[in-house]
Structure 1
């Protein structure tokens, strides 16, 4: 009986090892395939659609917004990151190239457009005169559409920033995962 258990245990471990080996090989293969995926070159279609919905909803509420930024290349991100560091100006981002949702087509920035066409980043402005700052109205509309708002962040308040990350971290995006990997039809 003891010999049977020993043989059974060894057989079980051998089969388990074979399954683990196959699983690890598949994971490595999938990781390599993901790593070869090119970076996006524009906004993700769902983000683009939600952006357009946000602009329309804001307009219905009497708020004219301008999307000031969307997709950014890694090079563009590095230029923005240099601001306030190796170049003059205030620091506007802590994300270097490849570390921003903008680099994956999953983020937009907005500002308020005044009737004369000028653009402001005034988070207290109440242009539609409903007793509530327009900026926060737009942020709430965006959150209802599924965006995360940078104004809710604890460490660095990024009031113009809206992102739709589809549950993917920056690390996963860097590893080649894309929203299509997590969106189920």
Structure 2
């Protein structure tokens, strides 16, 4: 009886090991495939559509939104990150290349355009005269459209920033995951 249990245990461990080996091989293969995926070269189609809706809905309430930034290449992100550090100017981002949702086409930045064509980043301005700052009205519209707003962040406020992460972290995006994967799963 003891020999039977030992043989059964060895068979079980062999089968378990084989399944584990196959699973690990598949994980490695999938990781390699993801790592070979190219970075996006523009805004994700859903982000692009929601951006256009944000502009239109803001216009309906008398606020003209100007999108000041969208997709950024890793090289562009590194140049912006150098500002206030190794290059002159003020620090405008904490994210190095590959560390921003802009680099994956999942973020936009905005400002307000005034009737005279000038652009402002005044978060207290009430240009449509309804008693509420335009900036926060735009943020509310964006959040209804599914964007996360940098003005809600606790660690630091990034008032001009909206992003859609599709449930993906920067680490996952760096590892080759893309929003299409998140939607399909």
* Matching residue of 1:162: 162
Give the 3-state SS of the residue equivalent to 1:52 in structure 2: helix
- With the length of structure 2 as denominator, give the TM-score of the two structures: 0.97
Q: Secondary structure at the match of 2:4?
A: helix
- Unpaired segments of 5 or more residues in structure 2? none
**Which stretches in structure 1 are left out of the alignment for 5+ residues?**
none
Secondary structure (helix, strand or coil) at the match of 2:183 reads: coil
Shift of 1:7: 1.4
The correspondence of residues 8-23 of structure 1 with structure 2, limited to 5 A, is: 8-23=8-23
Question: Match of 2:12, SS?
Answer: helix
Task: Supply the distance in 1 between the matched residues of 2:157 and 2:88 (Cα, whole angstroms).
Answer: 20
Structure 1 residue 52: Cα displacement: 0.4
Matched, 1:145 2:145: yes
* Aligned-residue offset at 1:89: 1.8
The answer for the alignment partner of 1:7 in structure 2 is 7
Distance 2:46 2:173 in 1: 17
Matches within 5 A, 1:1-185: 1-184=1-184
Q: Hey, which bits of structure 1, 4+ residues long, moved more than 6 A? A: none
For the residues of structure 1 that align with 2:4 and 2:59, how far apart are their CA atoms? 76
**What is the CA-CA distance between 1:154 and the residue it aligns to?**
1.2
Superposed displacement of residue 21, structure 1: 0.3
Partner Cα separation in structure 2 for residue 184 and residue 17 of structure 1? 30
**Which 10-residue stretch deviates more, 93-102 or 83-92?**
83-92
Aligned partners of 1:123, 1:169: CA distance in 2, in Å?
28
Deviation track 1:100-123 (CA, whole Å, cap 9, x = no partner) reads 000000000000000001000000
